[in-house]
Amino acid sequence: MLSAEELERYARHIVLHEVGGPGQAALNRARVLVIGAGGLGAPVLLYLAAAGVGTLGVIDDDVVTLSNLQRQVIHETPDLGMPKVESAAATIRRLNPHVAVEPHGLRLNAGNALDLIGRYDIVADGSDNFATRYLVSDACYFAKKPLVTAALGTFDATLTTILAHERGADGKPNPTYRCLFPEPPPPGSVPACAEAGVLGALAGVVGSMMALEIIREIVGFGEGLVGRLLMIDARSMRFETLAYQWDPTNPLSGVKPTIRDLSGHL
């Protein structure tokens, strides 16, 4: 049951026909794990907290630095030097004391991924490297958890939702991250954020859209991004969608899978 204070706090959700009281109650029961408390993770955490998601887990092993503050809006100047998970948790508690925060100040790896992801209902991947993205997507497949994953470039971004452990309306398996991107790019071919830069407001846009996908998935309305890659070009303010399907040759969920656990990840 939502308290009188919660009913007032979430009133603008509850009056929405697509959400209503049952949808808000589903948000209140949900447990969401956010990978990274950086440029993408910051707005995801803020909007999910504001929406009343009952439990938010956040994984990050970094500390807040001055160069983070241009886009990582969950942190503030007084937080410099503080672990990002602690800074994020403090902000969430100030924003919405009804939300439980579970900070995990560590790096996700093959040894802990399944245990951590298995504790939550849905995962949001805001990591900044391909190794983590492949690890998270593979772990979500084995743990049978929905995944919302996004990536930022300098002035561009991508976003998709993956339910690889389920089948679509046509009876075929839903695509995996490896159906979309069979292999990571060669090391060094994609410059890191510190080298190439990133538009701060773009991180806010994409992170907010990740939160929207997660809310939609929890409440169950609309058409999500399963099998569709949303591509954003901030220079021209252009949004395009690329459809993709299950690849029967993919090594994770294909006809002859070769990836049967996370041992291939570091």
Query: 11-243 belongs to which CATH class?
Result: alpha beta
For tokens 């089948």, the residue is 167
Residue 90's alpha-carbon distances to 87, 117, 204, in angstroms, are 5, 22, 19
Contact 145, 35 (CB under 8 A): no
pLDDT in tens, the chain (266 residues): 889 999 999 999 999 999 999 999 999 999 999 999 999 999 999 999 999 999 999 999 999 999 999 999 999 999 999 999 999 999 999 999 999 999 999 999 999 999 999 999 999 999 989 999 999 999 999 999 999 999 999 999 999 999 999 999 899 999 999 999 998 877 766 666 666 788 999 999 999 999 999 999 999 999 999 999 999 999 999 999 999 999 999 999 999 999 999 999 97
CA distance 16 to 30: 19
| pTM (predicted TM-score) | 0.96
Question: According to the model, what pLDDT value does residue 230 have?
Answer: 98
- Terminal CA-to-CA distance of the chain, rounded, Å? 43
Question: According to the model, what pLDDT value does residue 58 have?
Answer: 98
Own/partner long-range contacts of 259-262 (Cβ < 8 Å, ≥24 apart): 259/138, 261/142, 262/110, 262/113, 262/114, 262/135, 262/138, 262/139, 262/142
For tokens 């459809």, the residue is 243
Question: According to the model, what pLDDT value does residue 194 have?
Answer: 66
Question: According to the model, what pLDDT value does residue 192 have?
Answer: 66
Edge-first strand order for the sheet with 238-243 is: 100-104, 55-59, 31-35, 122-125, 147-152, 156-162, 228-233, 238-243
69 burial via Cβ count (<10 Å: 0-12, 13-18, 19+): middle
Contact 176, 252 (CB under 8 A): yes
Contact 256, 185 (CB under 8 A): no
